[in-house]
Chains A and B, each alone.
Chain A
Amino acid sequence: DAGVIQSPRHEVTEMGQEVTLRCKPISGHNSLFWYRQTMMRGLELLIYFNNNVPIDDSGMPEDRFSAKMPNASFSTLKIQPSEPRDSAVYFCASSLALIGVYTFGSGTRLTVV
């Protein structure tokens, strides 16, 4: 298995543009998590899905952020419009719900200028 795959690895965009981050979880995992990592706030859980259904999105900072999981093998995190303070590394992780050990992707480093 190739692990959790995130794309792109790096993204640089201008303020106001729409940004879409992508994640392919490990096949068979039924829970998917989106985290944001910054120097100031560390790792923050944004949203997580169980069996493709969003369970808790209380960590999503504001309405500019949205996440979808249309099927078991794909999820997106979208920011529209993007702002410089959104600059961070965004991680996707997946797990088998009953085991609870996460496998993380390599993250997407987002820079909004």
Chain B
Amino acid sequence: AQTVTQSQPEMSVQEAETVTLSCTYDTSENNYYLFWYKQPPSRQMILVIRQEAYKQQNATENRFSVNFQKAAKSFSLKISDSQLGDTAMYFCAFMRRSSGTYKYIFGTGTRLKVLA
């Protein structure tokens, strides 16, 4: 069975600084996808970034980037130049294809607070 582990329940960072959120996963599959979702106080789940396992190059979206280590089954999220609006819960998710569609397995989340 696949599992996703986020070992940091809470983190804080000063505005404009860089922070890294960790995520590890366990799977025996070779083809899969990894995601980071953000959930601000509004409750809306927002896709931050995604990574295909077959791609060696780390995904980047503006201030957000990942460090994908497939052999180590690690998928950390780096937020550069942190902004107050980045305050949210961040969920790491593993996705695989099943029965013609895709299923997510989410980690338990990391609560990030950006300090002014």
Instruction: Report A's interface with B, CB cutoff 8 A.
Output: 31, 33, 42-43, 45, 48, 50, 55-56, 89, 91, 93, 95, 97, 100-102, 104, 106-107, 109
A50 and B108 within 8 A (CB): no
As a 0/1 sequence over residues 47 to 74 of chain B, the CB contacts with chain A under 8 angstroms (1 = contact) are 1001000000000000000000000000
What residues of chain B lie closer than 8 Å to A55, measured between beta carbons? 99-101
User: Interface size for chain B: under 10, 10 to 19, 20 to 34, or 35 or more residues?
Assistant: 20 to 34
| A97 pairs with B108, CB closer than 8 A | no
- Nearest chain-A residue to B46 (Cβ)? A104
A50 touches B45 (CB 8 A): no
> Which of A45, A48, A95, A106 meets B43, CB within 8 Å?
A106
B residues adjacent to A (C-beta < 8 A): 33, 42-45, 47, 50, 91, 95, 97-109
Given contacts A42-B108, A43-B91, contact A97 B100 (CB under 8 A): yes
Given A42-B106, A43-B106, also A95-B101 (CB < 8 A): yes
Is the pair B43, A107 in contact by a Cβ cutoff of 8 Å?
yes
List, in ascending order, chain B residues with CB within 8 A of A93's CB. 45
- In the A-B complex, the 10 residue pairs with the smallest Cβ-Cβ separation, listed nearest first, are A100-B102, A104-B45, A43-B106, A97-B101, A42-B108, A31-B101, A50-B101, A107-B43, A55-B99, A106-B44
A sample of 15 cross-chain residue pairs with beta-carbon separation below 8 angstroms, ordered by A number, consists of A33-B104, A43-B106, A45-B103, A45-B104, A48-B101, A55-B99, A56-B98, A56-B99, A93-B45, A95-B101, A97-B100, A97-B101, A100-B102, A104-B45, A106-B42
Given A101-B50, A107-B43, answer yes or no on A31-B102 (Cβ-Cβ < 8 Å): yes
Contact B106 A95 (CB under 8 A): no
6 extra A-B contacts, CB within 8 A, seeds A50-B99, A56-B98, A100-B95: A43-B106, A50-B100, A97-B102, A101-B47, A102-B104, A106-B43
Chain B hits for A56, CB < 8 A: 98-99, 103
